[in-house]
Amino acid sequence: MELAGFLGVTMLWVKAAHVIFVIFLMAGLFMMPRFFVYHHQCPVGSDEDKKWIEREDRLRRIILNPSIVIVWILGLMLAFSGGYWSEGWFHAKLLLVLGLSGYHGWLIGYFKKLKRGERPLSEKRLRLLNEVPGVVAAIVVVLAVVRPF
Protein backbone atom coordinates (compact mmCIF):
# COMPACT_ATOMS: atom_id res chain seq x y z
CA MET A 1 0.00 0.00 0.00
CA GLU A 2 1.42 3.33 -1.04
CA LEU A 3 0.09 6.53 0.44
CA ALA A 4 0.85 10.07 -0.60
CA GLY A 5 2.90 12.46 1.49
CA PHE A 6 6.07 12.19 3.49
CA LEU A 7 4.52 9.73 5.96
CA GLY A 8 3.97 7.11 3.27
CA VAL A 9 2.75 3.79 4.65
CA THR A 10 3.19 5.03 8.23
CA MET A 11 0.33 7.49 7.66
CA LEU A 12 -2.23 4.94 8.88
CA TRP A 13 -0.24 4.38 12.08
CA VAL A 14 0.03 8.11 12.68
CA LYS A 15 -3.71 8.47 12.01
CA ALA A 16 -4.49 5.64 14.46
CA ALA A 17 -2.31 7.24 17.15
CA HIS A 18 -3.96 10.60 16.47
CA VAL A 19 -7.43 9.12 17.00
CA ILE A 20 -6.30 7.30 20.17
CA PHE A 21 -4.95 10.50 21.71
CA VAL A 22 -8.03 12.45 20.61
CA ILE A 23 -10.07 9.91 22.61
CA PHE A 24 -7.84 10.48 25.67
CA LEU A 25 -8.13 14.25 25.25
CA MET A 26 -11.90 14.12 24.88
CA ALA A 27 -12.19 11.94 27.98
CA GLY A 28 -10.28 14.57 29.94
CA LEU A 29 -12.35 17.41 28.45
CA PHE A 30 -15.53 15.59 29.53
CA MET A 31 -14.20 14.73 33.01
CA MET A 32 -12.73 18.06 34.10
CA PRO A 33 -15.95 20.13 34.11
CA ARG A 34 -17.73 17.25 35.88
CA PHE A 35 -14.96 17.30 38.49
CA PHE A 36 -15.53 21.06 38.82
CA VAL A 37 -19.24 20.52 39.53
CA TYR A 38 -18.43 18.11 42.36
CA HIS A 39 -15.61 20.36 43.57
CA HIS A 40 -18.04 23.28 43.86
CA GLN A 41 -20.11 21.25 46.31
CA CYS A 42 -17.44 21.13 49.02
CA PRO A 43 -16.31 23.94 51.32
CA VAL A 44 -13.21 25.91 50.33
CA GLY A 45 -10.16 24.75 52.29
CA SER A 46 -11.74 21.48 53.43
CA ASP A 47 -10.04 18.09 53.10
CA GLU A 48 -12.49 17.27 50.32
CA ASP A 49 -11.52 20.51 48.53
CA LYS A 50 -7.87 19.47 48.68
CA LYS A 51 -8.73 16.02 47.28
CA TRP A 52 -10.58 17.56 44.33
CA ILE A 53 -7.63 19.87 43.64
CA GLU A 54 -5.35 16.84 43.61
CA ARG A 55 -7.68 14.88 41.29
CA GLU A 56 -8.02 17.80 38.89
CA ASP A 57 -4.28 18.37 38.89
CA ARG A 58 -3.61 14.71 38.07
CA LEU A 59 -6.16 14.78 35.24
CA ARG A 60 -4.45 17.92 33.90
CA ARG A 61 -0.89 16.58 34.19
CA ILE A 62 -1.44 12.94 33.18
CA ILE A 63 -4.20 13.09 30.58
CA LEU A 64 -5.14 16.56 29.35
CA ASN A 65 -1.82 18.29 28.76
CA PRO A 66 0.11 15.36 27.26
CA SER A 67 -2.84 14.40 25.06
CA ILE A 68 -3.35 17.85 23.59
CA VAL A 69 0.34 18.14 22.72
CA ILE A 70 0.41 14.72 21.04
CA VAL A 71 -2.89 15.36 19.22
CA TRP A 72 -1.51 18.60 17.78
CA ILE A 73 1.80 17.06 16.73
CA LEU A 74 0.20 14.06 15.04
CA GLY A 75 -2.59 16.16 13.53
CA LEU A 76 -0.12 18.58 11.98
CA MET A 77 1.94 15.67 10.64
CA LEU A 78 -1.20 14.30 8.98
CA ALA A 79 -2.21 17.70 7.62
CA PHE A 80 1.19 18.36 6.07
CA SER A 81 1.57 14.84 4.73
CA GLY A 82 -1.95 14.74 3.31
CA GLY A 83 -1.84 18.24 1.88
CA TYR A 84 -5.16 19.20 3.46
CA TRP A 85 -4.38 22.90 3.84
CA SER A 86 -6.42 23.89 0.78
CA GLU A 87 -9.50 21.86 1.74
CA GLY A 88 -12.59 23.65 3.08
CA TRP A 89 -13.50 20.82 5.46
CA PHE A 90 -10.00 21.03 6.94
CA HIS A 91 -10.26 24.78 7.55
CA ALA A 92 -13.54 24.25 9.42
CA LYS A 93 -12.06 21.34 11.40
CA LEU A 94 -8.95 23.34 12.26
CA LEU A 95 -11.07 26.25 13.48
CA LEU A 96 -13.06 23.90 15.75
CA VAL A 97 -9.88 22.24 17.03
CA LEU A 98 -8.45 25.67 17.84
CA GLY A 99 -11.67 26.35 19.75
CA LEU A 100 -11.33 23.09 21.68
CA SER A 101 -7.74 23.98 22.46
CA GLY A 102 -8.95 27.29 23.83
CA TYR A 103 -11.55 25.41 25.88
CA HIS A 104 -8.73 23.23 27.24
CA GLY A 105 -6.85 26.37 28.24
CA TRP A 106 -9.97 27.80 29.88
CA LEU A 107 -10.40 24.57 31.89
CA ILE A 108 -6.83 24.83 33.14
CA GLY A 109 -7.42 28.46 34.10
CA TYR A 110 -10.61 27.56 35.94
CA PHE A 111 -8.76 24.78 37.77
CA LYS A 112 -6.27 27.39 38.99
CA LYS A 113 -9.14 29.57 40.23
CA LEU A 114 -10.64 26.65 42.15
CA LYS A 115 -7.22 25.94 43.61
CA ARG A 116 -7.15 29.55 44.92
CA GLY A 117 -10.60 29.09 46.45
CA GLU A 118 -12.47 31.08 43.79
CA ARG A 119 -15.79 29.79 42.43
CA PRO A 120 -16.85 32.27 39.73
CA LEU A 121 -19.34 30.03 37.86
CA SER A 122 -22.47 28.25 38.99
CA GLU A 123 -22.79 24.48 38.90
CA LYS A 124 -25.51 24.89 36.25
CA ARG A 125 -23.17 26.85 33.97
CA LEU A 126 -20.43 24.23 34.48
CA ARG A 127 -22.91 21.47 33.54
CA LEU A 128 -23.75 23.36 30.34
CA LEU A 129 -20.07 23.88 29.52
CA ASN A 130 -19.62 20.13 29.88
CA GLU A 131 -21.60 19.74 26.62
CA VAL A 132 -19.18 21.83 24.53
CA PRO A 133 -16.59 19.13 23.74
CA GLY A 134 -19.23 16.59 22.73
CA VAL A 135 -20.91 18.92 20.24
CA VAL A 136 -17.58 20.05 18.79
CA ALA A 137 -16.30 16.46 18.56
CA ALA A 138 -19.40 15.36 16.63
CA ILE A 139 -18.95 18.16 14.09
CA VAL A 140 -15.20 17.48 13.76
CA VAL A 141 -15.82 13.77 13.09
CA VAL A 142 -18.35 14.61 10.36
CA LEU A 143 -15.91 17.07 8.79
CA ALA A 144 -12.98 14.62 8.89
CA VAL A 145 -14.91 11.54 7.70
CA VAL A 146 -17.58 12.92 5.33
CA ARG A 147 -15.57 15.94 4.13
CA PRO A 148 -18.73 17.76 3.03
CA PHE A 149 -16.89 20.65 1.36
Residues making up the binding site for heme: 18, 93
Q: Which of 66, 57, 63 is nearest to 39 (CA)?
A: 57
Q: Which of 29, 62, 56, 34 is nearest to 115 (CA)?
A: 56
Rounded CA-CA distance 47/60 in Å is 20
* CA 48, chain centre distance (Å): 26
| One-letter amino acid for residue 100 of the chain | L
| Residue 25 contacts residue 71 (beta carbons within 8 Å) | yes
| Residue 140 contacts residue 96 (beta carbons within 8 Å) | yes
Annotated binding-site residue numbers: 18, 93
